[in-house]
Structure 1
Amino acid sequence: MGLETVVKDIMDAANAEVSRIKAQTDAEVLEIIEEAKDESKRIMGESLAKAEDDIKRMKQQEISSANLEVKRTLLNARKGTLEEVYDRSFEIISSLPESKDKELLNIIIMNNESKGKRIYSNAKSEKLVRELSSLEYAGNINCAGGVVIENEDGTIRLDYTYDVILKGVNEQFLKQTSDILFG
């Protein structure tokens, strides 16, 4: 066996080893690439699912926020309407014809005169109150109408002004008024 044959055998063996290593490396590279593709698909799927969940959550938040704003606007409109009803009622009571004012004052005074010593009214109703009541007229007060009856030492004041009566009725029947107006 000659030197050339030994060199050729060594070269053939080295070339075969290089081919084997290259084939093994190519197979490992392909395996790593496939694993990377699978991992990227998994990550992409998770990211897409998270993005879809985020979009759904944001959409639900926007819808909830819009619904809340609609409710707030509706409540403010209803509140405004109820305030208008109250203001209009106050205007009507403030400008009652003298006959109706006399009728209401007479009922209030008849039912409550025995509870006091002095009586107050607005300037517009002073003459009428003096006619209807046997109590000492104590002066004018700022109100839409009605009277305030006070005991002898001034410790008890019964407020039967139209302002207070209307406010009490408004508070007592606010829900019913709202139901009538808005269903």
Structure 2
Amino acid sequence: MGLETVVKDIKDAAEAEVAQLNREADAEATLILDEAKQNAKKIMGERLAKAEDDITKLRQQEISSANLEVKRTLLNARKEVLEEVYTQAEESIAAFSPEKNKELLKSLIEKNEASGKRIYSNAESEEIVKELSSLEYAGNIKGLGGVIIENEDGTVRLDYTYDGILKSVNEQLLRQTSDILFG
């Protein structure tokens, strides 16, 4: 065996070893790449799922916010309508004819003057109240009409003013009025 044969054997062995190392390196690189691709897919899937959850939550928040705004707007509109109805009722009371006013005052006084000593009314109704009531006329009050009857020591005041009656009826029947108007 010659030197050339030994060199060729060493060279062939080295080339075989390099080829083996290259195959192992390629296999390891493929494994690393496959693992990296799997990790990338997993991370991408997780981020996509998180993004979809965030979008769903954001959409839900926007819908809830819009619903609240609609409810607020609707409630404000209903409030405005109820206030307009109340204003129209005040205007209707203010427009009572003198005969209607006298009739109402007579009814209020007859039913309630036994409870008091003094009586008050607005300036427009003063003469009518003095004519209809046996109570001491104590002065004028501001308002749409009606009377206030007071006991002897002034500790009890019965408010039968049209304003007071309207306010009381409005408070008691607000729910029913709302149901009638808005269903």
Q: Number of matched residues?
A: 183
Cα distance in 2, alignment partners of residues 139 and 115 from structure 1: 18
Q: What residue number does 1:14 align with? A: 14
Cα distance in 1, alignment partners of residues 24 and 130 from structure 2: 119
SS in 2 for 1:160: strand
TM-aligned CA deviation for residue 51 of structure 1: 1.4
Question: Matches of residues 29-108 of structure 1 in structure 2 within 5 Å?
Answer: 29-108=29-108
The residue identity in structure 1 corresponding to 2:113 is E
Unaligned 5+ residue runs, structure 1?
none
The residue identity in structure 2 corresponding to 1:74 is L
TM-score scaled by length of structure 1: 0.96
Cα distance in 2, alignment partners of residues 131 and 92 from structure 1: 25
SS in 2 for 1:173: helix
The residue identity in structure 2 corresponding to 1:164 is G
TM-score scaled by length of structure 2: 0.96
TM-aligned CA deviation for residue 50 of structure 1: 1.7
SS in 2 for 1:96: coil
Cα distance in 2, alignment partners of residues 122 and 95 from structure 1: 15
Q: In percent, how many aligned pairs have the same letter?
A: 69
TM-aligned CA deviation for residue 47 of structure 1: 1.5
Mean Cα deviation higher: 137-146 or 6-15: 6-15
Kindly provide the CA deviation profile for residues 129-157 of structure 1, in whole angstroms up to 9, marking residues without a partner as x.
00110000000011110001111111111
Unaligned 5+ residue runs, structure 2?
none
